[in-house]
């Protein structure tokens, strides 16, 4: 296992990424990565500060002869998504990421890699460090807690940034320039209940486990129609309750709000006489799911094992309503874009379902590039769960970023990419929440583009970044700075 990332090119980018990978930085635990960035900036003698929202801001003067260029803001976020395989012992708040070279890729051992958005941050630090580059006035904006709510972008005050152009380095397909993104809103759902005692006789306790799914980013991978572990879990329970008495004791499905659920577990009580039949039905159900998701989720596993009987269970009426509501909850792609073929316009991800003995809490992340559709989907999901007796709160809403195809920096970057690589870059939008949409609210005159290297399977333990694409991405970034439009 080759862990020597510093041997890769471009050297400065990989040097900083290797250091970043050593620093624990899940969302809301970003103190050490902020300290690293501030330390680098101070060592270079650059103006640097941290704001009240824990964004880090660095300014670098124009190189000689480039003072008449438009000012450019380079932007990336500092946190990462903490996802790991079940059999991996790892503490994201303490342990360094075990990054290593795997052929043409850099990946991690059983966890997310953090190339999202660590490579973007490393590229900015490389630009700040390299005094041989030609560039106009530069600002670097390292935002806080993007993955769990875009807190830093929301907290960015007016008047902090002075540049004319913002380059967001948080996209994941080399050769593509993103000029728009989806907005989003969180649906936070709560069922309250008083736990009931489980039956003392004639019932057996079983654990139902769905695992082996690919998961992934709920914006980028949602178009691939991957299975949602929460939906698969509750679909089976709902189907079996039609013919046998099944009691729901607890549930723990999914993880982060912006990740498609890969795993879900429920503890059930079933009549002893029905256990054999339930086992047969599950085997049949697993075959059905494998057939439905053939070529997409070939590693899906749905298993039933006996377990120790818990003392309490979710109140029967609440459990009934919960099961129906989860089965009925809109999930996945809801509408595709007409104006930009292949782009998801509106989607929902039922990210989390978890009980704690007093409540069952669920979270859905809704995305759309059309604000009215996002709002309508939120009302639809609210209606489903409110009918089931739950409390629903729609929070953290943010607007999308509307494309400007007449953008001066877009024209400059298209010309630069063609000159470097002999072909036009793709110009598109993304069905994910880039910070550009939020930053643009307070800075409406910013000319914005998002781009990056090729990163596969972000937000999952399969995350990897293509080494060659990092080189092309950084070469393109450097050339873009050199050819920035005049003021």
pLDDT digits (tens, 9 = 90+) for 288-346: 999 999 999 999 999 999 999 999 999 999 999 999 999 999 999 999 998 788 899 99
Specify the residue for token string 């082996």: 212
Q: How far apart are CA 248 and CA 442, in angstroms?
A: 47
Task: Name, in order, each residue with C-beta under 8 angstroms of 444's C-beta and a sequence gap of 6 or more.
Answer: none
Q: Calculate mean pLDDT across residues 251-270.
A: 95
Kindly state the tokens that stand for 456. 């596969």
The model's pTM: 0.75
Domain ranges of the chain: 5-181+401-483, 184-398
Q: How far apart are CA 78 and CA 375, in angstroms?
A: 29
Among residues 107, 150, 147, which one has the least CA distance to residue 442?
150
Centre a 10 Å sphere on the Cβ of residue 81 and count the other Cβ atoms it contains: 25
- Three-state secondary-structure class, residue 462: coil
In this prediction, residue 383 has a pLDDT band, given cuts at 50, 70 and 90, of very high
Query: Do 5-181+401-483 and 184-398 have matching folds?
Result: no
CATH of 5-181+401-483, one of 3.40.630.10, 3.40.50.300, 2.60.40.1290, 3.40.630.30: 3.40.630.10
Question: Active-site residue 239, yes or no?
Answer: no
Question: Active-site residue 79, yes or no?
Answer: yes
- Three-state secondary-structure class, residue 318: helix
Is the distance from CB of 369 to CB of 431 less than 8 angstroms?
Answer: yes
CATH of 184-398, one of 1.20.58.2030, 3.40.50.2000, 3.40.190.80, 3.30.70.360: 3.30.70.360
Q: List the catalytic residue out of 79, 174, 263, 435.
A: 79
Beta strands in 255-371 (DSSP E): 264-271, 301-306, 312-313, 332-336, 344-355, 359-368
Specify the residue for token string 């899906």: 300
Q: List the catalytic residue out of 30, 116, 139, 146.
A: 146
- Three-state secondary-structure class, residue 279: helix
pLDDT digits (tens, 9 = 90+) for 242-254: 999 999 999 999 9
What is the structure's pLDDT at 395?
94
Task: Name, in order, each residue with C-beta under 8 angstroms of 376's C-beta and a sequence gap of 6 or more.
Answer: none
Task: Name, in order, each residue with C-beta under 8 angstroms of 207's C-beta and a sequence gap of 6 or more.
Answer: 265, 266, 267, 268, 304, 305, 306, 307
The values of phi and psi at residue 273, to 5°, are -70, -20
């Amino acid at each position: 296992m080759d862990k020597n990332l510093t041997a890769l090119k471009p050297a400065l980018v990989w040097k900083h990424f290797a250091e970043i990978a050593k620093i624990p930085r899940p969302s809301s635990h970003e103190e050490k990565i902020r300290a690293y960035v501030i330390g680098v900036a101070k060592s270079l003698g650059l103006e640097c500060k941290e704001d009240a929202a824990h964004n880090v801001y660095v300014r670098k003067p124009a190189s000689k002869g480039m003072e008449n260029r438009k000012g450019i803001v380079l932007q990336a976020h500092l946190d990462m998504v903490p996802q790991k395989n079940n059999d991996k012992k790892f503490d994201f708040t303490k342990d360094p990421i075990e990054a290593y070279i795997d052929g043409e890729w850099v990946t991690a051992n059983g966890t997310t890699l953090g190339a999202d958005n660590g490579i973007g941050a490393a590229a900015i630090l490389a630009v700040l460090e390299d005094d041989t580059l030609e560039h106009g006035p530069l600002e670097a904006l390292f935002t806080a807690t993007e993955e769990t709510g875009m807190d830093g972008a929301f907290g960015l005050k007016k008047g902090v940034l002075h540049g004319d152009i913002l380059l967001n380095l948080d996209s994941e397909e080399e050769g593509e320039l993103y000029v728009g993104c989806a907005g989003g809103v969180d649906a936070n759902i709560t069922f309250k209940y008083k736990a009931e005692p489980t039956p003392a006789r004639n019932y057996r306790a079983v654990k139902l486990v769905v695992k082996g799914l690919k998961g992934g980013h709920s914006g980028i991978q949602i178009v691939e129609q991957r299975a949602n572990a929460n939906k698969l879990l509750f679909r089976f329970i709902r189907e079996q309750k039609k013919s046998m008495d099944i009691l729901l004791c607890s549930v723990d499905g999914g993880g982060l709000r912006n990740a498609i659920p890969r795993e879900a577990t429920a503890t059930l009580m079933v009549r002893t006489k029905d256990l054999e039949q339930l086992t047969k039905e599950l085997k049949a159900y697993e075959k059905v799911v494998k057939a439905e998701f053939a070529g997409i989720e070939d590693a899906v596993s749905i298993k039933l094992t006996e377990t120790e009987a818990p003392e309490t269970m979710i109140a029967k009426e609440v459990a009934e309503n919960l099961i129906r509501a989860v089965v009925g909850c809109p999930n996945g792609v809801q509408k595709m874009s007409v104006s930009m073929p292949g782009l998801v316009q509106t989607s929902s991800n039922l990210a989390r379902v978890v009980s704690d003995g007093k409540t069952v809490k669920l979270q859905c992340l809704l995305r759309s590039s059309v604000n009215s559709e996002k709002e309508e989907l939120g009302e639809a999901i609210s209606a489903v769960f409110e009918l089931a007796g739950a409390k629903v709160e729609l929070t953290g809403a943010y607007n999308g970023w509307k494309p400007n195809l007449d953008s001066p920096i877009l024209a400059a970057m298209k010309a630069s990419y063609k000159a470097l690589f002999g072909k036009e870059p793709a110009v598109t939008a993304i069905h994910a929440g880039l910070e550009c949409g939020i930053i643009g609210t307070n800075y409406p005159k910013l000319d914005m583009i998002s781009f990056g290297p090729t990163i596969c399977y972000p937000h999952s333990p399969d995350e990897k970044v293509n080494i060659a694409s990092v080189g092309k991405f950084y070469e393109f970034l450097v050339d873009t700075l050199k050819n920035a439009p005049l003021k």
